[in-house]
């Protein structure tokens, strides 16, 4: 099941490989079908998932497999190493409450991404092959339970992303692409060292060999005391934790490692921005929840304060930078920096409310930011500019668009009744309840105001008031005597057309529904998160 | 003063030789192939047909059979300790024969030869000669044998480098290669002579036992080690013995560049490992600390210097061949990491890395040649927009390059993984080395990605619509190599097991 | 589930239904579906009227309370806490019932009124949809039984007020105002949110009942300072919503919205929600917190009154009077006159709504002329409006026989009593400010009445330059607006008149109390009793009878004692009632004292306030009617003061200069920092490298652009330096080789020797 | 002739060291490619002298054998070298080894 959902896009990519590149429509449809199939599988998984099973094992002596679901565990590679028993790498997939949420999100966002890729005209074949490769890699990251496998998927994402930004991107795309590549690789290579170090420090209780299994690694009882990352080797454990954290923080992205994000977003084509903000950023925080924290619980417990401070910086700093942007897309990019700050803050809280909030925020940010970038793309397609000052009074002329924008914007600023609010609220509840991050939370609350500030301001400048003299569109009085606008060289519908609606409406519905009744998602994640919190609390406190 | 041997002794000597000849069949076969090729050339009057190349391919392929025969033979020395036969040697025999075949294949693809040279006569013969030399390098256990085989390789390499006689760069490369090679091998021989003076032995195993038995002057020993290292280092092209490499790689015919950068480098490593693992005494109570540490620290310096220098300078290259030359210097540094570890795992990692380097580097050079055939240039600027014109070539080159960077799911990643695992398996003492390796590999990403960047992200200046299809066979070969790069990146068990099987050396007391 | 609960849920959801129908289908419906909005609200009002009837009239019980809740979010078994659920729920008690009726009634009236006022607007349907969602959220605030849901609906009313203020979004002023309103409210909300967090972090629940029970049981682990802080932070929510100082600035600008909206949201209901919320959390406010609240209320009342004097826009005068009246309510809560404050809330809701609708009628008739200077003489043209407007004005000014008189008087009495109990001194400032503002209120309302209704029409005096003042309000009306000077002013139609009448009627004393002088005899103040504090003597200096207060049962037990006292309290005469009120059992002796003193100060309060009101009105008469003092000359005479008041104490300017400019500047700085420092190490370095001599320009510029950070820079420079070693001369190579060998040899040699 | 010191191992070693030095010096400084190659020969011969001296000193035949092979190799090397140098002369019209530096950096 999981293998299928992971490798479906790659299969689609192979099919596309066979299609002649002139048959653009067929190519699109093939990948759309793959994405839809993925979505169906995701729904099946969601229905079949048993929310009562926590996943990782909390206490020493727990089952070495944990209680993951849809587990697929095949021996992949078992090498004889000179001197060192054997190197066992397993093809080990499985989901718990934390990853199943992300699986659903990934399926959703990549399906929508395919739809929004419909307008891509340049080298369609190559585009969709890379796109499908990317989709598979992302999905793989979320379901892999073997560190080696995870790392393979993790690195596999970089190359398609590099090309997708670099070939189909904006004017300054080469710079953005190579910057993204170098940044993220820089983060992940150190992960490689930590991975090896962990491998030599952990023993699989069943086979007695060293193992890459994250489940075994998450159980402190499996560590060799004197090994390089064993309990005795405190310094190296701290180093490893920090290195891993930086690796993931670059993906998040966390201040001060965030500068690749605005460039990447501004240059990337709309669907790629959607994927990037919707799923890729989540991989950073997901990695923290899956690998970074449970493997080094005591280090995490010692550094909650630092993480919280960085989260606060992200929230406030991102909000302020967004406030200053003239480019709408850049503003949205900074806003997602700010929103990922909430995730960091919630994780730093280290208690259930905070972690649930963080995970839920990951999901909601995925859907909401996807919506934001799609909307930016809509206006960019028409006006060929994203300068906020080039617009004004749009809501008179594009009512549907304006309505959806309003929903998305308010969802992004955390309005109650929309999903973003609940996650942010839980993040704050958790962060405030934990003594460590209480004061940090009190500071970060300012983020709510500034978030509202930049969003409302941009909303006013673009949609309210009247047309600005130097606006990117003209007014003309239509047959019915009302004023209409028309964009230069835009033949399509002025307001949203059917394709754009099919992309946006589901997201709007999800946002509203999850804002009113969050249990469909929360119900799945709570058990696992509670267990995670148990694992993270040192035995002394537990 | 030396009394002549008696008849009985001569009898026994001849008997031993006859007995040992059986263990020498592949080399003999290859030598016969060498002469055969010359004869064929004389017969064919250097007409430009593929007869020679096909013959070479088949001949080399045939040799694999004889090498395979040797698996069941017991490891041991022959010719009075001049020469050994063990799994380690067998590994390199396969390695060199295969690289010889690939060199031939690449040569067949390279159209520069039509324009540059009239007759391919001795070209293939020399490739065979190099194969023989390298095989002997990998399996020689005596200083004299080492020297002879090295010179055999070097001389063939000199000629092959200068094979484009009317091409100034080729000739210049040959000259530089010659002078530099001659000097460093001269220094090496001088080092040999010092060791001979210290131990009165030329056989590695005896040298080792002599050294650990009686003492020696550490100063003299380090001098000898340095001089010998000059010789080996020049073969593996590690900093600071690398200076010849960029110029030679740039000037030489591309197939030869690939051949040198993979095969003769590997031969150098084989020699290095055998010499230092066997000749230098380990674990001896007294000398462990003096010599054992010294040469390891020397190698550490070499590897750090190579990794940093190679990657950093490569950032500035505009010529793809030269860029790959610097990258090969950097890779020498990575391979040295595996040797430094000094245990079975390290050896296994080194051998595996050599295998991965074999596939990806030959692949890269092959694509470079195919592109040069069409564009007639190896400059980065001329790679613009090639991604659309030669889709398969572009994709293949990209795969080889990310494999050279060491990104999954390619074989290069596994190679790096095993090297770093070997380092970390030692605990935290070599962690800093691993860190340097990691950092430099990040740097390397940048210049490797310059090539796909030019191929895909930029439009070609002139939109001349000439046929860019490299042809069916070339495509197939590219596809196969690309597939192997990825396949072995995911299922590397067979290669790794083979490397493990080949790690033991005859007379090795290290592990 | 109690039947009342079911009914209240229906009431809650009906407006939402109207929103959903109208937002999607209004263009397909006849008359843009306004009848749906009115009809649904009518139903809602009918049901809540029934609830009111059964709660207040039938079961005449101060302690009446039914609650119901359901699990909204289940966090499972949380480590360290155990099973944790977040519940949503509904509570109905007297206060709720009254608010329910009030909100639905006013909303219904405004719906009805709007059918006339907004007729012909191009977004007519959307307007009613927004009214629907507002009513829904407001009812949500009224009904919810926990802090979390209150916060949710709190923000939702903020949203609907945002949408309605900016209803004429083509007007930049409207767009600015809506943003300002939302942000000011957000500031208040984060305070409220932090307060909620403090309480949650202690008890892991949002429910009022459990929080109070825990507090009463003394389970609050943090220091009392934190508790006070919690109270004040929660109060910040009220500061934002009820436009108290220092967040009052948004309310006057909110008048950019349609006038009925101002009546509904920014006069009657939403702004009062802040007061309602403080009443809900009254029991956890520590005395210190209460003091702060009292002062803020008093100051707001005074400041707004002074500003209202000089405003010329008819709606702005009312807006500031609203702020001032809200100040009264907050003051009342601060001084512990709980029921009085809520009483004033209700009375004010009716007469202020009436005033706004009246002014709306005037503006409508004047074709969106809002400046009082160009009005006048409307008495003859609009008799209905005149009558109702005057009545409501009297109520606002607080003349006897009006509802406003009773409630305001009760608050002021409480203030005096409070000052007495707290030992005078600075505390007398509070009643003093209260009384002075009463006078100012009378004065500016008198001024307004005169300017609008009496004298001769001054429309022709209006200079042309600020002609457009009210013009572009309605794009729809803009068409026939240009020649309004000659246009005949006419009375508004019935659907706008009826609400005025109803509201005016509701401003008469008899509705609330048989005795025009004492609201305390009315059903309202009998039904709404000051609840027992849960933070009382435990941390109050005059700690008496701790045993009583520490038991959580106290809050329940006391009203029980209460009931029989209350039920026969109609008959008993004033004095006995005083006795009854004296032993009106309070958990907290402080509350008891204040209530007692307040009762004692009842008549003095009446006297003083009446005097003040008379003074105010007569002064207005002197100035504007008989022109004994020329207002303009006086304005000139005290110009600084006049300007100070006219410019609203310069609050907007101050905030503009400090916070807004500040944060925009900061954002500019930070984003500069982001592009030039953090990321700009990239570009700056790139330039640097380009200029470095050794870097010949031929190399691929992306080497430079690719430098992601300083390491990359050093990497490249080292590369640039190292590659110089590759001279191309083989002899150099040999030399270098030997240098290296010899160097290491020497190094080793020295190491060997030492 | 007893006043002469008997020639010992060290004398030979000194000679060979000097030869090595001269050889390296020639390789590094001479412009003419031919002379450079002669320098290389010097280096090899220095090694030869060592081998012979040690062989004599230690007794045993290995050193002698080695030096013989070195001589042979040197001859072969000279042949190849001369061929290449002639080619260089054909192309660059000079045998100035320091002028052959078209490829650098």
Residue range C42-61: mean pLDDT, rounded: 87
Residue range A242-254: mean pLDDT, rounded: 90
| SS3 track for C667-721 | HHHHHHHHHHHHCHHHHHHHHHHHHCCCCCCCCCHHHHHCCCCHHHHHHHHHHHH
- Chain D nearest CA to C694, separation (Å): 12
What count of residues does chain A have?
542
Residue range C57-72: mean pLDDT, rounded: 84
Task: State residue A161 phi and psi, 5-degree precision.
Answer: -60, -45
In this predicted structure, the answer to whether residue C318 has a pLDDT above a threshold of 60 is yes
pLDDT digits (tens, 9 = 90+) for B216-250: 777 888 888 889 999 999 999 888 888 899 889 99
Let me know if C746 is exposed, middle or buried by CB neighbors in 10 A (0-12, 13-18, 19+).
exposed
- C-alpha–C-alpha distance, residues B228 and B234, integer Å: 10
CB contact under 8 A, B183 and D43: yes
Please identify among residues 181-200 of chain A the ones whose CB lies closer than 8 Å to any CB of chain C: 182-183, 186
Residue range A373-392: mean pLDDT, rounded: 87
Which residue of C695, C698, C719, C728 to mutate against D (max D Cβ within 10 Å)?
C728
Give the closest residue to C487 by CA, choosing from C330, C577, C381, C638. Answer: C381
Say what the pLDDT of residue C615 is: 85
D105 touches chain C (CB under 8 A): yes
Say what the pLDDT of residue A245 is: 93
Residue C93: its H or E element: strand C82-93
Q: Which band of pLDDT confidence, cut at 50, 70 and 90, is reported for residue C684?
A: low
Residue range C240-249: mean pLDDT, rounded: 86
Say what the pLDDT of residue C369 is: 78
Residue range C291-313: mean pLDDT, rounded: 88
CB contact under 8 A, D105 and B162: no
- C-alpha–C-alpha distance, residues B316 and B389, integer Å: 26
Instruction: Please indicate whether chains D and A are in contact, defined as at least 3 beta carbon pairs under 8 Å.
Output: no
Q: For the CA atoms of B115, B117, B122, B127, what is the dihedral angle to 10 degrees?
A: -50
Residue C159: list chain A partners with CB under 8 A. Answer: 410, 415
- C-alpha–C-alpha distance, residues C114 and C356, integer Å: 12
Q: Which two tokens mark A83?
A: 């001197």
pLDDT digits (tens, 9 = 90+) for B153-198: 999 999 999 998 888 889 999 999 999 999 999 999 999 999 898 8
Say what the pLDDT of residue C500 is: 87
Residue range A287-306: mean pLDDT, rounded: 90
In this predicted structure, the answer to whether residue C496 has a pLDDT above a threshold of 50 is yes
- C-alpha–C-alpha distance, residues A410 and B324, integer Å: 53
Instruction: Please indicate whether chains D and B are in contact, defined as at least 3 beta carbon pairs under 8 Å.
Output: yes
B280 touches chain D (CB under 8 A): no
Which residue of A181, A530, A533 to mutate against C (max C Cβ within 10 Å)?
A530
Residue range B386-390: mean pLDDT, rounded: 83
Q: Which band of pLDDT confidence, cut at 50, 70 and 90, is reported for residue A82?
A: low
Residue range C458-462: mean pLDDT, rounded: 72
Higher pLDDT among residues B42 and B365, named by residue: B365
- C-alpha–C-alpha distance, residues C31 and B135, integer Å: 96
- Please, what is the average pLDDT of chain B? 86
Q: Which band of pLDDT confidence, cut at 50, 70 and 90, is reported for residue C640?
A: confident
Say what the pLDDT of residue C485 is: 46
- Please, what is the average pLDDT of chain C? 78
| SS3 track for C153-222 | HHHHHHHHHHHHHCCCCCCHHHHHHHHHHHHHHHHHHHHHHHHHHHHHHHHCCCEHHHHHHHHHCCCCCC
Going from N- to C-terminal start, the domains of chain A cover: 2-536
CB B500 within 8 A of CB A85: no
Say what the pLDDT of residue C32 is: 80
Please tell me which of the candidates B344, B449, B496 has its beta carbon nearest to residue A178: B449
C718 touches chain D (CB under 8 A): no
In this predicted structure, the answer to whether residue A418 has a pLDDT above a threshold of 70 is yes
Q: Which band of pLDDT confidence, cut at 50, 70 and 90, is reported for residue C314?
A: confident
Residue range B380-384: mean pLDDT, rounded: 86
In this predicted structure, the answer to whether residue A261 has a pLDDT above a threshold of 50 is yes
CB contact under 8 A, A464 and C201: no
Say what the pLDDT of residue B49 is: 65
B249: which residues sit within 8 A by CB, 6+ positions away? B257, B260, B261, B321, B322, B324, B325, B328
In this predicted structure, the answer to whether residue A83 has a pLDDT above a threshold of 70 is no
Say what the pLDDT of residue A58 is: 63
Contacting chains of B (3 CB pairs or more, <8 Å) are A, C, D
Say what the pLDDT of residue A131 is: 93
Higher pLDDT among residues A66 and A450, named by residue: A450
Pairing type for strands A86-95 and A473-477 reads unpaired
Residue D92: list chain B partners with CB under 8 A. Answer: 168, 172
CB B456 within 8 A of CB B445: no
Residue A233: list chain B partners with CB under 8 A. Answer: 428
Q: For the CA atoms of C664, C665, C671, C676, what is the dihedral angle to 10 degrees?
A: 160
Residue whose tokens read 């965030």:
A258
Q: Is C429 helix (H, G, I), strand (E, B) or coil?
A: helix
Residue D29: list chain C partners with CB under 8 A. Answer: 731
Residue range C429-434: mean pLDDT, rounded: 85
C-beta neighbour count of A514 within 10 angstroms: 23
Say what the pLDDT of residue B511 is: 66
A188: which residues sit within 8 A by CB, 6+ positions away? A151, A154, A155, A158, A247
Say what the pLDDT of residue B60 is: 92
CB contact under 8 A, A79 and B493: yes
CB contact under 8 A, D24 and C727: no
Q: Which band of pLDDT confidence, cut at 50, 70 and 90, is reported for residue C405?
A: confident
Residue range B481-492: mean pLDDT, rounded: 91
C-beta neighbour count of C487 within 10 angstroms: 13
In this predicted structure, the answer to whether residue C750 has a pLDDT above a threshold of 60 is yes
Percent residues over pLDDT 90 in chain B: 39
Please tell me which of the candidates B200, B247, B316 has its beta carbon nearest to residue D103: B247
In this predicted structure, the answer to whether residue C574 has a pLDDT above a threshold of 50 is no
Please tell me which of the candidates B348, B456, B491 has its beta carbon nearest to residue A81: B348
Residue B443: list chain C partners with CB under 8 A. Answer: 712, 715
Say what the pLDDT of residue B30 is: 93
- C-alpha–C-alpha distance, residues A431 and A345, integer Å: 7
pLDDT digits (tens, 9 = 90+) for A85-126: 677 888 999 998 899 999 999 999 999 999 999 888 888 888
C-beta neighbour count of C566 within 10 angstroms: 20
CB contact under 8 A, A166 and B347: no
What count of residues does chain C have?
754
CB B236 within 8 A of CB B268: yes
Q: Which two tokens mark B492?
A: 């590397």
In this predicted structure, the answer to whether residue C74 has a pLDDT above a threshold of 70 is yes
Say what the pLDDT of residue C694 is: 34
Residue C749: its H or E element: helix C730-753
Percent residues over pLDDT 70 in chain C: 83
Tally the C-alpha atoms within 13 A of residue A47's C-alpha that lie toward its C-beta.
Answer: 5
What count of residues does chain D have?
105
Q: Which band of pLDDT confidence, cut at 50, 70 and 90, is reported for residue B91?
A: very high
CB C285 within 8 A of CB C293: yes
Please identify among residues 122-151 of chain B the ones whose CB lies closer than 8 Å to any CB of chain D: 143-144, 147-148, 151
In this predicted structure, the answer to whether residue B95 has a pLDDT above a threshold of 90 is yes
Q: What is the ipTM of this complex?
A: 0.84
CB B244 within 8 A of CB B181: yes
pLDDT digits (tens, 9 = 90+) for D39-95: 999 999 999 999 999 888 887 788 898 999 999 999 999 999 999 999 999 888 888
Query: Worst-scoring range by mean pLDDT, B416-430, C432-446, C534-548?
Result: C534-548
> What domains lie within chain D, and their CATH numbers?
31-96 (1.10.287.3510)
Higher pLDDT among residues C651 and B167, named by residue: B167
CB C586 within 8 A of CB C530: yes
Q: Which band of pLDDT confidence, cut at 50, 70 and 90, is reported for residue C715?
A: low
In this predicted structure, the answer to whether residue B290 has a pLDDT above a threshold of 70 is no
What angle in degrees, to the nearest 10, is found between the helix axes of C338-365 and C270-280? Answer: 180
CB C348 within 8 A of CB C411: no
Query: Worst-scoring range by mean pLDDT, B450-459, C633-642, D45-54?
Result: C633-642
Q: Which two tokens mark C170?
A: 């083509």
Give the closest residue to A151 by CA, choosing from A17, A249, A247. Answer: A247
Exposure string (b/e) for C598-623, b if CB count within 10 Å is 16 or more? Answer: bbbbbeebbebbbebbeebbebbbeb
């Amino acid at each position: 099941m999981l293998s299928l959902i992971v490798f479906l896009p790659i299969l689609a990519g192979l099919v596309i490989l066979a299609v002649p590149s002139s048959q653009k429509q067929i190519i699109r449809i093939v990948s759309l079908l793959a994405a839809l199939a993925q979505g169906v599988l995701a729904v099946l998984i969601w229905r079949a998932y048993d929310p009562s099973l926590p996943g990782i094992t909390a206490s020493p002596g727990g089952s070495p497999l944990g209680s993951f679901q849809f587990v697929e565990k095949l021996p992949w590679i078992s090498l004889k190493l000179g001197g060192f028993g054997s190197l066992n790498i397993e093809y080990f997939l499985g989901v718990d409450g934390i990853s199943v949420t992300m699986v659903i999100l990934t399926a959703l966002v990549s399906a929508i991404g395919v739809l929004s890729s419909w307008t891509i005209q340049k080298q369609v074949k190559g585009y969709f092959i890379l796109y499908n490769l990317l989709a598979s890699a992302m999905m793989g990251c979320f379901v892999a339970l073997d560190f080696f496998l995870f790392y393979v998927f993790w690195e596999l994402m970089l190359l398609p992303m590099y090309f997708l930004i670099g070939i189909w991107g904006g004017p300054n795309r080469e710079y953005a692409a190579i910057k993204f590549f170098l940044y993220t690789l820089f983060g992940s290579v150190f992960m490689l060292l930590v991975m090896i170090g962990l491998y030599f420090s952990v023993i699989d209780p069943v086979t007695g060999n060293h193992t890459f299994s994250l489940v075994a690694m998450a159980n402190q009882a499996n560590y060799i005391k004197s090994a390089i990352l064993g309990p005795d080797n405190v310094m190296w454990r701290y180093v490893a934790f920090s290195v891993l954290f930086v690796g993931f923080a670059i993906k998040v992205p966390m201040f001060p490692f965030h500068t690749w994000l605005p460039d990447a977003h501004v240059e990337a084509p709309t669907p790629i921005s959607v994927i990037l903000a919707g799923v890729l950023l989540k991989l950073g925080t997901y990695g923290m929840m899956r690998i970074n924290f449970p493997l080094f619980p005591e280090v995490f417990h010692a550094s909650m304060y630092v993480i919280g401070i960085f989260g606060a910086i992200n929230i406030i700093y991102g909000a302020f930078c967004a406030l200053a942007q003239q480019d709408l897309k850049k503003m949205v990019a900074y806003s997602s920096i700010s929103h990922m700050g909430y995730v960091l803050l919630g994780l730093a809280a280290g208690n259930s409310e905070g972690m649930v909030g963080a995970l839920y925020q990951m999901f909601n940010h995925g859907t909401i930011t996807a919506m934001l970038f799609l909307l930016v793309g809509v206006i960019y397609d028409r006006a060929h500019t994203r300068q906020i000052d080039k617009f004004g009074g749009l809501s008179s002329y594009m009512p549907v668009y304006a309505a959806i924008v309003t929903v998305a914007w308010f969802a992004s600023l955390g309005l109650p009744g929309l999903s973003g609010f609940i996650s942010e609220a839980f993040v704050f509840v958790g962060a405030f309840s934990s003594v460590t991050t209480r004061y940090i939370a009190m500071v970060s609350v300012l983020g709510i105001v500034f978030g509202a500030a930049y969003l409302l301001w941009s909303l006013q400048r673009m949609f309210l008031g009247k047309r600005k003299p130097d606006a990117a569109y003209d007014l003309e009085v239509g047959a019915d005597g009302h004023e209409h606008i028309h964009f230069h060289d835009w033949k399509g519908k002025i307001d949203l057309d059917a394709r754009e609606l099919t992309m946006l409406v589901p997201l709007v519905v999800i946002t509203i529904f999850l804002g009113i009744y969050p249990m469909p998602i929360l119900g799945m994640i709570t058990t696992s998160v509670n267990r995670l919190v148990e694992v993270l609390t040192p035995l002394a406190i537990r | 003063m030396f009394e002549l041997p008696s008849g009985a002794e001569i009898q026994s000597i001849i008997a031993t030789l006859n007995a040992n000849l059986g263990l020498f069949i592949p080399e003999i076969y290859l030598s016969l192939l060498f002469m055969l090729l010359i004869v064929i050339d004389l017969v064919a009057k250097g007409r430009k047909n593929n007869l020679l190349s096909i013959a070479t391919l088949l001949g080399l392929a045939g040799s694999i059979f004889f090498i395979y025969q040797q698996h069941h033979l017991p490891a041991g020395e022959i010719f009075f300790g001049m020469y050994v036969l063990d799994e380690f040697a067998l590994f390199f025999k396969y390695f060199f024969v295969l690289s010889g075949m690939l060199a031939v294949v690449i040569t067949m693809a390279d159209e520069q030869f039509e324009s540059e040279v009239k007759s391919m006569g001795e070209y293939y013969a020399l490739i065979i000669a190099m194969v023989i030399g390298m095989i002997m390098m990998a399996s020689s256990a005596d200083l004299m044998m080492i020297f002879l085989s090295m010179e055999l390789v070097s001389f063939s390499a000199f000629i092959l480098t200068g094979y484009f006689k009317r091409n100034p760069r080729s000739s210049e490369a040959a000259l530089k290669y010659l002078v530099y090679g001659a000097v460093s091998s001269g220094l090496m021989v001088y080092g040999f002579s010092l060791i001979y003076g210290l131990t009165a032995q030329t056989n590695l195993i005896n040298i080792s036992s002599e050294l650990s038995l009686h003492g020696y002057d550490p100063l003299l020993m380090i001098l000898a080690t340095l001089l010998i290292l000059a010789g080996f280092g020049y073969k593996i092209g590690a900093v600071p013995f690398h200076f010849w490499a960029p110029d030679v790689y740039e000037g030489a015919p591309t197939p030869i560049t690939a051949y040198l950068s993979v095969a003769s480098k590997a031969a150098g490593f084989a020699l290095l490992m055998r010499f230092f693992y066997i000749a230098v005494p380990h674990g001896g109570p007294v000398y462990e600390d003096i010599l054992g540490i010294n040469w390891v620290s020397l190698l550490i310096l070499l590897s750090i210097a190579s990794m940093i220098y190679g990657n950093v300078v490569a950032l500035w290259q505009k010529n793809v061949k030269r860029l790959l030359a610097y990258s090969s210097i950097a890779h020498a540094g990575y391979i040295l990491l595996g040797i430094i570890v000094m245990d079975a795992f390290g050896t296994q990692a080194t051998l595996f890395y050599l295998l991965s380097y074999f596939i990806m580097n030959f692949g890269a050079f092959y694509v470079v040649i195919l592109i040069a055939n069409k564009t007639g240039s190896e400059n980065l600027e001329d790679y613009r927009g090639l991604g659309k014109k030669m889709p398969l070539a572009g994709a293949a080159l990209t795969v080889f390059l990310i494999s050279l960077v060491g990104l999954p799911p390619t074989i290069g990643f596994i190679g790096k993984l095993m090297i770093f695992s070997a380092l970390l398996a030692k605990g935290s003492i070599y962690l800093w080395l691993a860190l340097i390796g990691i950092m430099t590999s990040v740097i390397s990403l940048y210049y490797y990605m310059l090539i796909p960047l030019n191929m895909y992200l930029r439009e070609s200046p002139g939109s001349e619509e000439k046929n860019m299809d490299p042809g069916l066979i070339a495509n197939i070969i590219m596809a196969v190599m690309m597939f192997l790069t990825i396949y072995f990146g995911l299922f590397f068990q067979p290669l790794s097991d083979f490397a493990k099987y080949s790690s033991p050396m005859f007379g090795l007391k290290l592990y | 589930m109690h039947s009342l609960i079911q009914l209240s849920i229906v009431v809650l959801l009906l407006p939402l239904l109207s929103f959903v129908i109208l937002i999607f289908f209004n263009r397909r419906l006849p008359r843009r579906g306004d009848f749906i909005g009115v009809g649904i609200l009518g139903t809602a009002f009918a049901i809540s009227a029934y609830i009111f009837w059964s709660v207040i009239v039938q079961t005449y019980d101060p302690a009446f309370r039914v609650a119901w809740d359901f699990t909204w979010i289940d966090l499972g078994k949380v480590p360290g806490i155990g099973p944790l659920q977040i519940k949503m729920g509904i509570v109905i008690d007297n206060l709720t019932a009254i608010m329910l009726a009030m909100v639905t009634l006013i909303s219904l009236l405004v719906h009805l009124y709007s059918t006339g006022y907004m007729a012909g607007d191009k977004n007519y349907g959307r307007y009613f949809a927004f009214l629907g969602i507002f009513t829904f959220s407001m009812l949500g605030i009224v009904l919810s039984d926990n802090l979390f849901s209150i916060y949710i609906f709190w923000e939702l009313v903020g949203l609907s007020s945002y949408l309605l203020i900016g209803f004429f979004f083509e007007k930049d002023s409207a767009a600015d105002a809506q943003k300002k309103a939302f942000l000011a409210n957000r500031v208040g909300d984060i305070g409220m949110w932090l307060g909620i967090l403090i309480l949650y972090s202690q008890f892991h629940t949002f429910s009022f009942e459990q929080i109070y029970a825990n507090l009463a049981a003394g389970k609050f682990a943090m220091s009392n300072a934190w508790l006070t802080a919690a109270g004040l932070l929660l109060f910040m929510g009220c500061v934002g919503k009820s436009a108290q100082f220092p967040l009052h600035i948004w309310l006057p600008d909110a008048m950019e919205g349609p006038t009925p909206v101002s009546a509904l949201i920014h006069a009657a209901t939403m702004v009062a929600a802040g007061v309602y919320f403080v009443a809900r959390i009254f029991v956890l406010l520590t005395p210190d917190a209460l003091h702060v609240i009292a002062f803020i209320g008093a100051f707001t009342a005074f400041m707004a009154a002074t500003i209202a004097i000089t405003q010329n826009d008819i709606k702005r005068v009312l807006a500031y009077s609203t702020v001032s009246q809200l100040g009264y309510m907050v003051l009342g809560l601060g001084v512990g006159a709980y029921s009085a404050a809520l009483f004033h809330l209700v009375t004010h809701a009716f007469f202020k709504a009436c005033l706004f609708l009246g002014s709306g009628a005037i503006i409508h008739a004047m074709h969106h002329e809002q400046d009082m200077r160009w009005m006048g003489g409307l008495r003859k043209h609009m008799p209905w409006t005149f009558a109702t407007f005057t009545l409501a004005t009297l109520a606002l000014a607080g003349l006897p026989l009006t509802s406003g008189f009773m409630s305001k008087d009760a608050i002021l009495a409480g203030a005096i009593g409070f000052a007495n109990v707290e030992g005078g001194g600075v505390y007398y400032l509070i009643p003093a400010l209260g009384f002075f503002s009463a006078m100012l209120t009378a004065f500016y309302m008198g001024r307004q009445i005169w300017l609008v209704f009496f004298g001769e029409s001054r429309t022709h005096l209006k200079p042309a330059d600020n002609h457009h003042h009210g013009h572009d309000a309605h794009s729809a009306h803009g068409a026939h607006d240009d020649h309004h000077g000659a246009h005949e002013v006419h009375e508004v139609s019935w659907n706008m008149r009826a609400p005025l009448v109803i509201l005016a009627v509701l401003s008469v004393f008899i509705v609330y109390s048989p005795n025009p002088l004492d609201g305390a005899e009315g059903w309202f103040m009998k039904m709404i009793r000051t609840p027992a504090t849960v933070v009382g003597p435990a941390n109050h200096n005059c700690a008496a009878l701790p045993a009583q207060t520490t038991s959580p049962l106290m809050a329940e037990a006391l009203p029980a004692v209460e009931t029989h006292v209350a039920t026969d309290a109609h008959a008993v005469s004033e004095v006995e009632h005083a006795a009854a009120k004296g032993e009106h059992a309070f958990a907290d002796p402080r509350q008891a004292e204040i209530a007692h003193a307040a009762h004692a100060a009842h008549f003095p309060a009446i006297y003083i306030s009446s005097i003040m009101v008379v003074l105010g009105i007569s002064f207005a008469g002197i100035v504007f009617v008989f022109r004994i003092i020329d207002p303009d000359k006086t304005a000139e005479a005290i110009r600084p003061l006049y300007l100070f008041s006219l410019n609203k104490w310069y609050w907007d300017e101050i905030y503009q200069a400090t916070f807004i400019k500040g944060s925009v500047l900061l954002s500019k700085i930070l984003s500069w920092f982001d592009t030039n420092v953090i990321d700009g190490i990239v570009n700056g370095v790139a330039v640097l490298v380009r200029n470095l001599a050794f870097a010949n320009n031929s190399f691929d510029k992306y080497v430079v652009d690719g430098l992601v950070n300083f390491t990359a820079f050093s990497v490249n420079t080292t590369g640039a330096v190292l590659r110089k070693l590759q001279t191309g001369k083989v002899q150099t190579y040999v030399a270098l080789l030997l240098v290296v060998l010899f160097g290491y040899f020497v190094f080793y040699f020295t190491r060997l020797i030492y | 002739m007893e006043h002469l010191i008997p020639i010992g191992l060290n004398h030979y070693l000194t000679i060979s060291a000097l030869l090595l030095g001269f050889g390296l010096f020639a390789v590094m400084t001479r412009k003419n490619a031919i002379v450079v190659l002669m320098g290389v020969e010097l280096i090899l011969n220095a090694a030869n002298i060592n081998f012979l001296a040690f062989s004599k000193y230690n007794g045993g035949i290995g050193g002698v054998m080695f030096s013989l092979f070195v001589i042979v190799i040197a001859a072969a090397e000279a042949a190849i070298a001369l061929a290449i140098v002639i080619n260089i002369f054909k192309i660059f019209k000079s045998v100035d080894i320091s002028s052959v530096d078209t490829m650098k950096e």
